[in-house]
Amino acid sequence: MKYVNAETVFPEWLLSELQQYVQGDWIYIPAIKGSRKAWGERSGSREALRRRNADIRKQYARGQSMEELSSVYGLAYDTIKKIVYSKT
């Protein structure tokens, strides 16, 4: 979060109205609901993990052991177990 001077952002009438409530303090203005993306959506990390986990489930269903999957993907055995047994 970065500091922005209200005088450079708000019209004079709105700044005057805000000063009726707050003067000289910091004020947080939240983003519009729904405008913020969830973790990994912007970079594609979420989709990459979803695909990786789907591949792990498929390979397990084809008979590859959790130990082998752990070694191939560089993940802990317990992590592979969580992925394999998760519903999504």
Domain boundaries, the chain: 6-32+40-85
Residue 74's pLDDT is 97
Q: What is the DSSP letter of 65?
A: -
pLDDT in tens, 6-28: 999 999 999 999 999 999 898 88
pTM of this structure: 0.60
Does an H or E element contain 82, and which?
A: helix 77-85
